[in-house]
Amino acid sequence: MTNRLVWNFEFTPTTHFNLSELDHEKEDELKWEARFFWPETDIINLQLIDSSLLELTQYQHKQKNDKYYLLEHNYNIKNRRDELVYKPLIKQGKYAVGFGHKLNLSELCKSPQAAHKSDLDDIWDQLKHAKKIVVKKESFSYKFSTQPSTKLELARIEVKSSIYFTLCVEGKSRPLVEKLSHYLVGKKPTDDYVGFLKKITQKS
């Protein structure tokens, strides 16, 4: 029996998972993400690994409007609340990607002492000619009872009047992120916003 939570996300109960077994992973310096996208018409069936996942009151609700910049390289750069935010991709894996700390690109480019100043100047020049895509996002985030902390995000996004759904498992432990995402959606290669936006804009 499946249980619809929100939008097209639904859960199927499973008896093959023990969340407490994942409590002892080492915390990493990077934030690891496993992200997946679906079109509006898809029903997204997830494995229910904890009964509290069915309670929408356990989720944090957010709404955001971001403007992504699509450059030649897959730099994760967006404008949020009039700030240019750069989330550097440090490690690329098949099932998860590792990001460094978010950087305020506007402030960094103004600083003559900034690390990798020439790289930042190059990115800044590319931004002047970049394709810009607005993403309207509504999300529900759930925090798993793991150490280190790991979150599940379920989101509905609007891009150029088209609707998509996205799921992300994120945290400071790559093994935790990968294990949880495998249990939820199966062993599927991860995606990211910039790569996804490039693919759908090339089709349109």
Query: What is the CATH classification number for the domain harbouring 86?
Result: 2.40.320
* pLDDT for residue 142: 98
Three-class secondary structure of residue 65 per DSSP = strand
Prediction pTM value: 0.90
Q: What is the tally of structural domains in the chain?
A: 1
Q: Which residues pair with 65 in a beta bridge?
A: 136
Q: Render the burial of 98-111: b for 16+ CB within 10 Å, e for the rest.
A: bbeeebebeebbee
**Cα distances (Å, whole numbers) of residue 52 to 34, 67, 126, 142, 172:** 21, 33, 45, 9, 22
* pLDDT for residue 147: 86
Which residue type, as a one-letter code, is found at position 85? Answer: V
Q: Where are the alpha helices (DSSP H) in the chain?
A: 105-110, 117-127, 174-185, 193-203
* pLDDT for residue 137: 98
Which residues form the domain of 15? 3-203
> Using CA atoms, how far apart are residues 173 and 24, in angstroms rounded to an integer?
10
Residue 94, both tokens: 């098949």
* pLDDT for residue 105: 82
Task: Show Cβ contacts of residue 47 under 8 Å, excluding neighbours closer than 6 positions.
Answer: 11, 12, 14, 17, 183, 184, 185
> Using CA atoms, how far apart are residues 116 and 130, in angstroms rounded to an integer?
21
Note down pLDDT in tens along the chain; length 204 residues. Answer: 789 999 999 999 876 677 776 666 688 899 999 999 999 999 999 999 888 999 999 999 999 999 999 988 888 999 998 889 999 999 999 999 999 999 888 776 555 554 455 567 778 788 888 999 999 999 999 999 888 899 999 999 999 999 999 999 999 999 999 999 999 999 999 999 999 999 998 876
Burial class (CB in 10 A: 0-12, 13-18, 19+), 146: buried
